[in-house]
Structure 1
Amino acid sequence: MLVQFWIAHRFIPSQTGKDIDVEGHEIFSELIWRSLLQNVTDMSAGITHYYSSDGIYHGHRRFCKMHDLIHDLAQFVTGDECSTLPGSNEFKKISKRIRHFTLNPDVGYDMGDRTPSVRTALPVGTNFIGLSKLKLVRVLKFHYEANVDELSTSIQYLLHLRYLNFSETYITELPESICMLVNLQTLNLNDCSQLAKLPMSIVYMNSLRHLYISRCPKLKIMPSGLSRLRCLKTLTKYIVSEKAGNKIGELKHWNLDGELGLYDLHEVKNADEAKEANMSSRQSIYSLSLSWGTSVENPEQVLEALKPHAALKLLSLHDYPGTQFSTWIRDEQQLQNLVRVQLEGCQRCEQLPPLEQLPYLEELTISRMDGIKHIINNTTGDAFSLFPELRFLNLKEMANLEGWYVEEDRETAPPLFPRLKNLIISQCPKLTNMPPQISTLEYLEIEESYRGTQIELLSKGKGFFKHLKSLERLLLTKCEELALLLEDKEETRPLSSSLHSLSINDCSRFSLSAALQNLTSLERLSMHHFEELVSWPDEMFRGLESIRSLIIWSCKNLTSASSQGDCGPLFLEDLCVSNCDALIELPKCPTSLKKLVVSNCLSIKSLCSDMGHLTALAHLELFECPKLESLPEGMQGLTSLKYLYIQDCPALKSFPQGLQQLLPTLKLLKINGCPKLERRCSPGGDYFRLVSSISEKSIKNSPRRTLIAPCL
């Protein structure tokens, strides 16, 4: 995106016969070579940022930063042309010479006439007024919470706009008037979960070079005539539709590079039609996603005709209806440059391609393939190891997966996964053992899998956790027998010094108390769906000095604090309590607490009776507690409090006197969906004078959205 920013501002000189995007990337590489940009992380070679915790791929990215001295020099040279505006007070002081600014999306800004020369504005939030007055703006990005359907009607007046980013917003459709943006080069709609269609007029935007529409699940059809966009270089999603005139052969009109997704391939009639896409010659495509919608005849021939160039790094197949993969997928030489492979919903395939021999494969996701019994079907050959570079493995909804390789090959097979760091296994009920000798694993997530008895798990795995000497994070969901192994001191001995984070979800027979005594290095604990938990488990935590973060989520029978009244872990710093519908009050928290989050607790009427001793508390967040009527007295003791966020607590009428004293010292105040508090903090209200000096504040009564607990 940085290169596209440069192009939008015409920072890159146009040379005859040379693609301006190529020129931009060469300049980027030059800055890295000269160390003006440093610590470059290429996400095509690193699994940490490819995936979220649910194993979903989130695109190819490169990250870098500028050296402090170079940053200071850049600030000196640009002077007052660039600014970061944390609050509305700073906005009132900005120079009329400002060209580029970064905004706080929660703060209200009224452009008025003070910013006539602005070229860059990001991210634009809901409280942004006067968007149409930014007549010269070239780069514009909207915040994910912005009311983009309303704001988007103003962008037709921004005739100089070249880069427009709606990614991760709730936009449902773009106005037809967007075609008036005749200079627009980049339109980013990635991850717009509500986007249902593109405007028909988009085919007339002749300057458009990059159209990003990945991960837009409601987008099922594309406008007719897209082939008119002859300048298009990036098209991340192309939906084949004979009815709309978007045949796969239309791809021949574009010299695409980067990421390409082809959807509804069941609309492709035969191999000859598929060959018109000319995929084998597209060397600049590094990521290819192929997706079918329904079963068709001879899908193998269509897949064979879509053979990509050997330079491909990322390959995804979704809902492929064939019984076997094409020859180019089974050819190790053809795919030797692959870094990531994703196979989903290929239900009729009974064998996986020989992915274990790929020399650079770092990430593998396999899901909804009921015909697969083993990951590896043939261990013959001269390989020193199988999956030699694999770092991330995600197996999901594999109903008949029994093992890693055919049982008779187990003793003679080369080492498996010698570099594996992250392993996610979800809904694989017939799998009974871990990969052997997997000592490099750092993150393990298992959900509804390993349903054998405790004896079976120990015998087949020869000690399930025995080799996990590097494991740092463990997440178990609905794995009764597997969770019980954590109570065994010998079984958990390898984890005692390495495991820092443990999340247990819906394992009713599991005794967490016994497990915690064995895990002496544990710093973060998440307890989900513990139905037997009625009162606060202070006895369970007594003596545990290592735990710093505690999450208690969806424990429906938890009603009150314990008789002792103490929260538990002695040195607890972060506490999140969420979706505990019966909870009435919190226990007394330790003085070490720095962050407290209470979310979706429908019965809670008050926090702990005394909070004045929490002198280290810096963050207090309250979400969707409809019966919370008041906050405790004595809050003047919260001398470190800097961030206060209250949302959807409509019964909360006022702040206690102690908290009122602290309001002017806050760095951030956000109040949303609390009408009584909102009135008191608005102009003319009791608290307006107290909150007016807070640089970052957002006080509104906007419609509620489904809220996910912020501590998860």
Structure 2
Amino acid sequence: MRQCFSFCSIFPKDSVMTKDKLLALWMANGFIPSRGALDLHDMGCEIFSELTWRSYFQEIEEDVDGTVACKMHDLIHDLATSIMGQECCVIEANEGSQIPKTARHLFVYNSSRSTNVMDYTTFQPLQSLILCGDGYFNHSNPSRFISKQKYLKVLHLGFYMSNIEFKISKHLRYLYLHNSTVKTLRESTSSLLNLQTLSLKDCGSHKMLPKGTKNLKNLRYLDIRGCHTLTSMPVALGQLSFLRKLSIFILGKKDGNCERCHQLPPLGKLRFLKVLNICRISALKYIDDTFYGDMESSFPSLEVLSIRVALCLEEWTIVNGREHFPLLSSLTVDCCPKLVKLPMIQSLKELHIGETNVTLLTSLIMNATVLTSLRISDFNELPDELLKNQKQLDRLNVFYCSLKSSSDLLDNLSCLKYLDIQACSIESLPAGLQNLSSLETLDLNFCDSLVSLPVNGLQRLSSLCSLRVQHCKTLASLPEGMRYLTSLQDLLINECPELTSLPRSIQHLSSLRYLQIRCCRGLISLPDEMQHLSLLSELTIINCSNLMSLPQGVHNLTTL
């Protein structure tokens, strides 16, 4: 763990680092120790979690695709640098830059389009070379230099480069080409038998992977996102038994669609694959046993599966007597209007489903009894008792659906902590809102028909900390029932043009710290009772053109 931590000093201060990149770099340099049957990736995840727990990483964020990013505080970066000594070196690319003779891991960046040229041929033998630049990187014959680096394990070229005709070290484990205009990789790339990571992210001109990609037996991560001209995949990728992450699998495309694909390859044989995205397979009608391969347990490590824009897909069958998706925890099914049958996956914890047959919606949710996160979108009407078995659900997003106040959607969600309703046709929130005693965050967005919040529906929301109401064009008032939100700390009202004032009961929001009112042109006054918001520390009012003054007592709030 000490080596993994100190190696982070190779990045300049205040850099955003992704978990996946750190794990790949640690693995490539041999910093992750083996421990029994635990895979190096999983061991790396434990190290990352431990460093996060110790606060060596901060500003941890996770995007919708599951990419985790973080930073290091400057003082922590200094600590990592002191441990690593001069083995890690960060320099700017210019003629006068000096590199310590002890440097084994080098990060070179250019902060401007300087005309100075760095002579790489004078570099000593390196294990890691990361070149990052804005636009074109000034260099003198990088091909010649890289060819001389016989012990290189990490090569990261983060700048525009049209030619990579160089001999690569047989020890290379990490190859990253970002924003390159390279159209093809040399076939000799497939002889890099130690290669663990191959990233061609945003190489928009790249047309073909090496035919011998199947020979990269140690390959764990293959990232081809943003390779828009890539038209097909090499054959026999199922032989990459250590592959954990395949960002996209392309089945031959025209205008972004796989128009002639009638069958998926046997991806179930990839025993370390964790994330699989399938998109725009317009000719596919059936997913059959070919997809699973001939293993007793198919997709044994898969955790995240997404299938989108499969307009003709009707049925997804299973093979009896075999185990399928034993670890699958996240499933996305979107824009598959004809699909009516899916394998039963009881291990699901996260489900995103939209623009599908309502029969499929019902069967998926009824069989997935341990869901903690659910996103439903684009359904004209939601069936009764749809969520009656979801006792563990703590996050619910409902987008572009028609909801009725009589709906029982929220009736049994006693563990729900986050509720987001967006762009739904709804005049009043479902009555079950009053039963959400664990709810901490309520977001209402673009609900154009919403006139008011329920007077008594807020009474039992004793845990609610954040209420955000935005872009609700017909919302005319907030109820006096706001008095019951005694745990509310953050209240945001944005783009609600019919709202004229806030309720006098706002004085009972004893925990309120942040109040924001934005773009509410109908707002003409605020209640004098605001002077009792003793913990209010931030009041923001923007673009409320008809509000002429603030209540007199607001000036006496000592925490504001």
TM-score (norm 1): 0.57
Alignment partner of 2:200: what SS?
A: strand
CA-CA distance at 1:286 after TM superposition: 2.0
CA distance in 2, matches of 1:613, 1:328: 66
Matched, 1:339 2:244: yes
- TM-superposition CA deviations, 1:453-481 (whole Å, max 9, x none): x5x548xx8x4433211111111010336
Structure 2 contact 314–339 (Cα < 8 Å) conserved: yes
2:156 is equivalent to residue 235 of structure 1: yes
1:472 to 364, 367, 372: 372
C-alpha displacement at 1:210, in angstroms?
Answer: 2.2
Q: Counterparts of 2:368 and 2:441 in 1: how far apart (Å)?
A: 23
Provide closer, same or farther for how the CA distance between residues 289 and 282 of structure 1 changes in structure 2, counting only shifts above 3 A.
farther
The residue matched to 2:342 in structure 1 has which SS? Answer: coil
Distance 1:591 1:372, change over 3 A: same
Given candidates 485, 490, 503, the residue that maps to 1:608 is 503
Q: Which amino acid aligns with 1:314?
A: Y
- Report whether the alignment pairs 1:581 with 2:473: yes
One of 190, 197, 201 as aligned partner of 1:286: 197
CA contact (8 A) 1:538 1:567 kept: no
Aligned residue in 2 for 1:403: 315
**Do the aligned partners of 1:321 and 1:347 also contact (CA within 8 Å) in 2?**
no
User: What is the aligned partner in structure 1 of residue 6 from structure 2?
Assistant: 3
Q: 1:323 to 1:283 in 2, by over 3 A?
A: same
Q: Report Cα offsets for 1:482-534 as digits up to 9, x if no partner.
A: xx23x13xx54432x2222222111126666322224444333221112332x
Following the alignment from structure 1 to structure 2, what is the Cα–Cα distance between the partners of residues 279 and 200? 36
Q: Which residue of 2 aligns with 1:556?
A: 448
Q: CA deviation at 1:400?
A: 3.1
Q: Supply the distance in 2 between the matched residues of 1:654 and 1:259 (Cα, whole angstroms).
A: 61
Q: Classify the secondary structure of the residue corresponding to 1:423.
A: strand
Task: Indicate yes or no: 2:417 matched with 1:523.
Answer: yes
Q: Match for 1:182 among 77, 87, 97?
A: 97
1:275 aligns with 2:175: no
| Structure 1 contact 211–235 (Cα < 8 Å) conserved | yes
Number of aligned pairs? 493
Once residues 270 and 282 of structure 2 are traced to their aligned partners in structure 1, the CA distance between those partners, rounded to angstroms, is 24
Q: Render the CA deviation track for 1:640-663: whole Å, top value 9, x for unaligned.
A: 445x26374465776544443334
Q: Where does residue 426 of structure 2 map in the other structure?
A: 532
Which of 329, 340, 349 is equivalent to 1:442? 349
**Matched residue SS, 1:359:** coil
Pick the aligned partner of 1:247 from 121, 144, 163: 163
Distance 1:380 1:22 in 2: 32
CA distance in 1, matches of 2:523, 2:167: 58
Q: Which runs of 5+ in 1 are unaligned?
A: 10-20, 43-48, 65-83, 85-99, 103-118, 122-137, 140-160, 165-176, 190-196, 214-218, 241-245, 667-712
Change in Cα spacing, 1:371 to 1:343, as seen in structure 2 (3 Å) is farther
1:39 aligns with 2:50: yes
Q: Which amino acid aligns with 1:424?
A: T
- The separation in 2 between residues aligned to 1:341 and 1:238, in whole angstroms, is 23
Distance 1:561 1:472, change over 3 A: closer
Structure 2, unpaired ranges of 5+ = 13-24, 35-42, 54-59, 83-87, 100-105, 147-151
Tell me, what secondary structure is at the counterpart of 1:466?
helix
- Alignment partner of 2:323: what SS? coil
1:594 to 476, 488, 491: 488
Q: Are 1:313 and 2:220 counterparts?
A: yes
Q: Give secondary structure in 2 for the equivalent of 1:446.
A: strand
Give the 3-state SS of the residue equivalent to 1:552 in structure 2. Answer: strand
Residue 199 (structure 1) aligned to one of 99, 110, 113: 113
What aligned pairs does 1:384-403 form with structure 2 within 5 A after superposition? 384-403=296-315
> Distance between the aligned counterparts of 2:7 and 2:516, measured in 1?
37
Shift of 1:544: 4.5
Distance 1:469 1:345, change over 3 A: same
User: Matches of 1:120 and 1:605 in 2, distance apart?
Assistant: 53
Deviation at 1:380, TM superposition (A): 7.8
> Structure 1 pair 441/22, CA: closer, same or farther in 2 (3 Å)?
closer
Equivalent residues of 2:412, 2:435 under 8 A apart: no
In 2, Cα distance between equivalents of 1:2 and 1:648: 44
Q: Confirm or deny: 8 A CA contact 1:261 1:288 kept in the other structure.
A: yes
CA contact (8 A) 1:289 1:317 kept: yes
Residue 326 of structure 2 corresponds to residue 418 of structure 1? yes
Aligned 8 A contact 1:384 1:415 in 2: yes
1:97-108 alignment runs, 5 A limit = none
Q: Which residue matches 2:149?
A: none
Q: 1:635 to 1:492 in 2, by over 3 A?
A: closer
In structure 2, relative to structure 1, the CA distance for the partners of 1:291 and 1:552 (3 Å cut) is: closer
The percentage of counterpart residues that share the same residue type is 22
Residue 363 of structure 1 pairs with residue 271 of structure 2: no
**Alignment partner, residue 505 of structure 1:** 399
| Cα 1:187–1:238 shift into 2, 3 Å | closer
Matched residues in 2 for 1:341 and 1:555: separation?
38
Is 1:541 paired with 2:544? no
Contact 2:265–2:290, Cα closer than 8 Å, also in 1:
no
2:172–2:192: 8 Å Cα contact kept in structure 1? Answer: no
Provide the residue aligned with 2:19 in structure 1.
none
The verdict on how the C-alpha distance between 1:383 and 1:4 changes in structure 2, with shifts beyond 3 A counting, is closer
Q: TM-score, normalized by length of structure 2?
A: 0.71
Quick check: 1:212–1:234 contact (8 Å CA) kept in 2? no
The verdict on how the C-alpha distance between 1:640 and 1:284 changes in structure 2, with shifts beyond 3 A counting, is farther
Query: RMSD over aligned Cα, in angstroms?
Result: 4.8
Cα shift readout 1:7-64 (whole Å, capped 9, x = no counterpart): 589xxxxxxxxxxx9899778979x99x99972589xxxxxx99622x26457x8x99
Q: Distance in 1 between matches of 2:431 and 2:266?
A: 52
| CA–CA separation in structure 2 for the residues paired with 1:586 and 1:419 | 45
Tell me the distance in 2 between the aligned counterparts of 1:391 and 1:22: 22
1:647-686 map, 5 Å: 648-649=542-543, 651=545, 656-663=551-558, 665=559
| Partners of 2:266 and 2:291 within 8 A in 1 | no
Contact kept? 1:344, 1:368, Cα under 8 Å: no
Correspondence for 2:528: 633
Aligned to 1:514: 408
State the 1:163 CA deviation: 5.0
Q: Secondary structure at the match of 1:660?
A: helix
Distance 1:285 1:543, change over 3 A: closer
Amino acid at match of 2:380: E
Question: How many angstroms apart in 1 are the aligned matches of 2:407 and 2:321?
Answer: 40
Cα separation, partners in 2 of 1:537 and 1:572, compared to 1, 3 Å? farther
Contact residue 362 and residue 390 of structure 1 kept, 8 A: yes
Indicate the SS of the match to 1:474.
Answer: strand
2:461 aligns to what?
Answer: 570
Distance in 1 of aligned mates of 2:354 and 2:116: 43
- Provide the rounded CA distance (Å) in 2 between the counterparts of 1:23 and 1:287: 13
Which residue of 335, 338, 341 corresponds with 1:430? 338
Measured after TM superposition, the shift of residue 361 of structure 1 is: 1.5
Contact 1:379/1:413, CA 8 A, preserved across alignment: no
- Change beyond 3 A, Cα 1:386–1:328: closer
